Structure 1
Amino acid sequence: MLSNSKKKNKKKSLHSLLATNLGSKLTISIPSSTQDPELDFDFSEVFGPSTPHNRHPHQNPIPSSSPPSTSSPTLPPADPPVIRHRSHSFVGPSPRFTLSRSLPIHTPESESDAEARNGPSVDVEKFGPGDFEILRVVGQGAFGKVFQVVRKARASAGAPNNGECKEEGDDDGIYAMKVMRKDTIIKKNHVDYMKAERDILTKVVHPFIVQLRYSFQTKSKLYLILDFINGGHLFFHLYRQGIFSEDQARVYTAEIVSAVSHLHKCGIVHRDLKPENILMDADGHVMLTDFGLAKEIDESSRSNSLCGTTEYMAPEILLSKGHNKDADWWSAGILLYEMLTGQPPFTHENRKKLQERIIKEKVKLPPFLTSEAHSLLKGLLQKEPSRRLGSGPSGGDDIKSHKWFQSINWKKLEARELQPKFKPDVSGKDCTANFDRCWTAMPPNDSPAATPTAGEHFQGYTYVAPNPWLSSG
């Protein structure tokens, strides 16, 4: 039997070892303008930063690829530390194919000039940055910031507009304003992706996808005005809870499957499904967001870009075999695995070794999951895309009919009539308590940006959602 002094020394050494390991693997997020912009292309800027989450008690934490931290402060559960990078979304050329080319440079022409020449495509009101009052910052990424904003009241005919906010009853007027710098987009050769994000969002209407309300541009920036979802991202809540029960994960996964199936029927592949890109509304429903890597792909074509977030990337993307909508179902499987176990099935701090694991290693299914969950995960995490659940002619319907979803009434689910058991703690439509304070404490300024001189890349960017959307609550 150990003496009390030996027990204390042993306990102290274990604590020291744990602190050392944590200090070498976790990094507290501090927004920095000195971050190397060439490392990764970050499309996860919408609605706040990535936050870590607890792992299953029998699993090791995923090491971060960030530089070692000099200290490992202990914070209470109500204010968790933030890992700078768990892993970023990125886009890069395929080893066999070049990245999609940027749009050709046009002679500079304003949208008003284009309309004068060709006539307006639709009779809509024009909006701009002056129509929105910035409340606070809720995110920051590679191309700019995301603000929580309120839409100002429009003056009636002959009446002055004093900038008052919209009154309750018209609509709540609270939105997320995603602001992107044109010079950075052009420099990074991401014009195609930014235009695709706007174009795709104008075509998609679904109860579990964040809606685009307006888009417009100035000489130096692009603006997307989206619904503000006040419950924070799924990653935030997964971190707080550690893991989700199968019943809780079933509702979230069903809503994600519904949203992704709708995208696929519209000819769209998302390509960056992960907890950071899924928001939760005040009622506990999940909302798919961030279409910065989405692409329109028809049934017979393939994309060859190496894009996504490595932990969630399908093997065919990593192998440059060409990918289509089946890649989203792999990501959905990784997402479900993470919700049920606390971490993705394949992890490594070295990206090359992580890619090798995804391509070669078998998925290890934890014994505490039900046989139905095992079956669904095996179906979604087939390395050969043609054998993957959801790859057949019925697409997402094959996933919906899986026995793990037997208790789900899909009509009620898509009518938002199935109420999730968990609801995030929010105090109002403008609540930002579920977004990290490293963003919300920042000065809410839409700072100036340089105006590109290489021509107009973003003609036709202006958009106002049809009236039925605008009148919806």
Structure 2
Amino acid sequence: MGPPDVVPSEHVEFDFSDVFGPSPTPTSTGVNVFASDGSTPAASDDIVYTEPAVILARSHSLVGPTALVCQSPRLRKHILHEADLELVECPSGVEGEQDKPFSCVAEEHEVPSSENVERVGLEDFDFLKVVGQGAFGKVFQVMKKGTSEIYAMKVVRKDTILEKNHSEYMKAERDILTKIDHPFIVQLRYSFQTKYRLYLVLDFVNGGHLFYQLYHQGLFREDLARIYTAEIVSAVSHLHANGIMHRDLKPENILLDADGHVMLTDFGLAKEFEENTRSNSLCGTIEYMAPEIIQGKGHDKVADWWSVGILLFEMLTGKPPFIGGNRDKIQQKIVKDKLKLPAYLTSEAHSLLKGLLQKEASKRLGGGPAGSNEIKNHKWFKLINWRKLEAREIQPSFKPNVAGKICVANFEERWTSMPLTVSPVASPVAGSGNFSGFTYVKPSVFLQKPSPLG
């Protein structure tokens, strides 16, 4: 079976651009809001919060890097000094001013009280490779000085964040990441800022995209798809239990670690919620959006289960169920078209897909009183021991080709061959240079050495 169908994107993005941070298209790009009968969506008694529209262009990562065996390279350390961050374009008349760091001392309310308060800043890391680039900046593979710990450092330009009015999304991403601790979710280890940039230091996951393997195999066997889906369900259940909805579950945001386990990443559109409240934002990637988001009815955490259903369908068939045509046509298919399931899938898989891809959110599997347990207890998952799964004791049959913690074979060479520089930025808007409360050091760093994930 050849590569799955890919819907051309109106805004071409890089294959890795969405891995550690979304690349939103201009906010002028809208989504047609309509009800299934063509009428205006009815009002609801639930509280609905309105947010800016953030619609991501489709940038499917099925076409991944060329398969190769990573020979453990000789480690090259590069240090980005402040001198490397000199401004090239200075419209505000601050020519030559450097990206001077704010205090990088972890704030008292963000770390346990300790006499040995860890100070973290740009000078604490050696930069090894570029492993991604998006609309807001670059993602680097870095090593923490004095250790063998490898991380992914997301460097975000403040001026771009402010221009797109996405400061709240960036702050929410950082806040949410500080609250998450799950075996199938990428962990935030540090965050800090300089005058012109924000830095998120996350676990480095180098097994490549889950769906890169789908590209080569055409589709997954049900037994392998079951483990991957169970790990995704476990991660999403953890988010929901902590009052967080992801809102951008898609292939680009699912990585494999060196042991072959799923790692959920990219919380750029995630949102904290309270029960009985809904969000009215238009956000996500069209092919994975739930009908209620497209219809503008307001959505809650149940929208994530629709996206999980789309992901499962793609694993088992090689492509999403609602594709083809322009953005408007895809939206109409999501809202109106009946789900067509291949006959070669088992009846249990049919049942689960029908439950997850129920267009009416109130009837969707996972949306009832039992929540995620409705999904975990489904007969398709009867072979899954959830306790062992979450202890990472169930090993997927596929293990990615990774030769050590610094191996970057599963990243595009166009990134890894890029020079280790940070693009120039203009001066931020006056009075908005410091993102209050952004600095963070993960408490577990003081208690134990984080286990490497690849």
**TM-score band, normalised by shorter chain:** 0.7 to 0.9
Superposition pairs of residues 23-422 of structure 1, within 5 angstroms: 54-55=2-3, 61-65=5-9, 99-100=51-52, 112=103, 122=111, 123=113, 124-153=117-146, 166=147, 172-422=148-398
Q: CA deviation at 1:189?
A: 0.4
The answer as to whether partners of 1:272 and 1:309 remain within 8 angstroms in 2 is yes
Tell me the distance in 2 between the aligned counterparts of 1:67 and 1:192: 24
Q: CA deviation at 1:63?
A: 3.8
The answer as to whether partners of 1:54 and 1:243 remain within 8 angstroms in 2 is no
Say how many residue pairs are matched: 377
Q: CA deviation at 1:395?
A: 1.0
Alignment-mate amino acid for residue 120 of structure 2: F
Tell me the distance in 2 between the aligned counterparts of 1:313 and 1:112: 40
The answer as to whether partners of 1:90 and 1:308 remain within 8 angstroms in 2 is no
- Over 3 Å counting, the alpha-carbon distance change for 1:127 and 1:84 in structure 2 is closer
More helix by share: 1
- Over 3 Å counting, the alpha-carbon distance change for 1:313 and 1:198 in structure 2 is same
The answer as to whether partners of 1:91 and 1:307 remain within 8 angstroms in 2 is no
Tell me the distance in 1 between the aligned counterparts of 2:8 and 2:366: 32
Alignment-mate amino acid for residue 138 of structure 1: V
Q: CA deviation at 1:289?
A: 0.2
Tell me the distance in 2 between the aligned counterparts of 1:321 and 1:206: 31
Tell me the distance in 2 between the aligned counterparts of 1:198 and 1:67: 26
- Over 3 Å counting, the alpha-carbon distance change for 1:235 and 1:89 in structure 2 is farther
1 or 2 for the larger relative contact order (CA 8 Å, sep ≥6)?
A: 2
The answer as to whether partners of 1:269 and 1:328 remain within 8 angstroms in 2 is yes
Question: SS in structure 2 opposite 1:471?
Answer: coil
Under a length normalisation based on structure 2, what TM-score does the superposition of the two structures give? 0.78
Tell me the distance in 2 between the aligned counterparts of 1:146 and 1:422: 26
**Worse overlay, 203-212 or 118-127:** 118-127
The answer as to whether partners of 1:213 and 1:470 remain within 8 angstroms in 2 is no
Determine the structure 2 residue equivalent to 1:21.
none
Alignment-mate amino acid for residue 134 of structure 2: G
- Over 3 Å counting, the alpha-carbon distance change for 1:135 and 1:293 in structure 2 is same
The answer as to whether partners of 1:376 and 1:404 remain within 8 angstroms in 2 is yes
Tell me the distance in 2 between the aligned counterparts of 1:89 and 1:244: 30
1:464 to 436, 441, 449: 441
Alignment-mate amino acid for residue 439 of structure 2: T
Alignment-mate amino acid for residue 64 of structure 1: P
Question: SS in structure 2 opposite 1:333?
Answer: helix
Alignment-mate amino acid for residue 141 of structure 1: G
The answer as to whether partners of 1:236 and 1:434 remain within 8 angstroms in 2 is no
The answer as to whether partners of 2:365 and 2:374 remain within 8 angstroms in 1 is yes
The answer as to whether partners of 1:111 and 1:459 remain within 8 angstroms in 2 is no
Question: SS in structure 1 opposite 2:395?
Answer: coil
Determine the structure 2 residue equivalent to 1:163.
none
- Over 3 Å counting, the alpha-carbon distance change for 1:268 and 1:91 in structure 2 is farther
Tell me the distance in 1 between the aligned counterparts of 2:367 and 2:7: 33
Q: CA deviation at 1:98?
A: 5.3
The answer as to whether partners of 2:287 and 2:322 remain within 8 angstroms in 1 is yes
Q: CA deviation at 1:91?
A: 8.6
Q: CA deviation at 1:348?
A: 2.1
- Over 3 Å counting, the alpha-carbon distance change for 1:91 and 1:441 in structure 2 is same
Alignment-mate amino acid for residue 410 of structure 1: W
Q: CA deviation at 1:451?
A: 2.9
- Over 3 Å counting, the alpha-carbon distance change for 1:429 and 1:270 in structure 2 is same
Deviations 1:174-218 (A, max 9, x none): 000001000000000000100000000000000000000000000
- Over 3 Å counting, the alpha-carbon distance change for 1:422 and 1:450 in structure 2 is same
Tell me the distance in 1 between the aligned counterparts of 2:165 and 2:367: 32
Deviations 1:218-264 (A, max 9, x none): 00000000000110111222212221110110000000000000000
Question: SS in structure 1 opposite 2:279?
Answer: coil
RMSD: 2.8
Q: CA deviation at 1:90?
A: 5.7
- Over 3 Å counting, the alpha-carbon distance change for 1:253 and 1:296 in structure 2 is same
Question: SS in structure 1 opposite 2:201?
Answer: strand
- Over 3 Å counting, the alpha-carbon distance change for 1:453 and 1:424 in structure 2 is same
Higher alpha-carbon Rg: 1
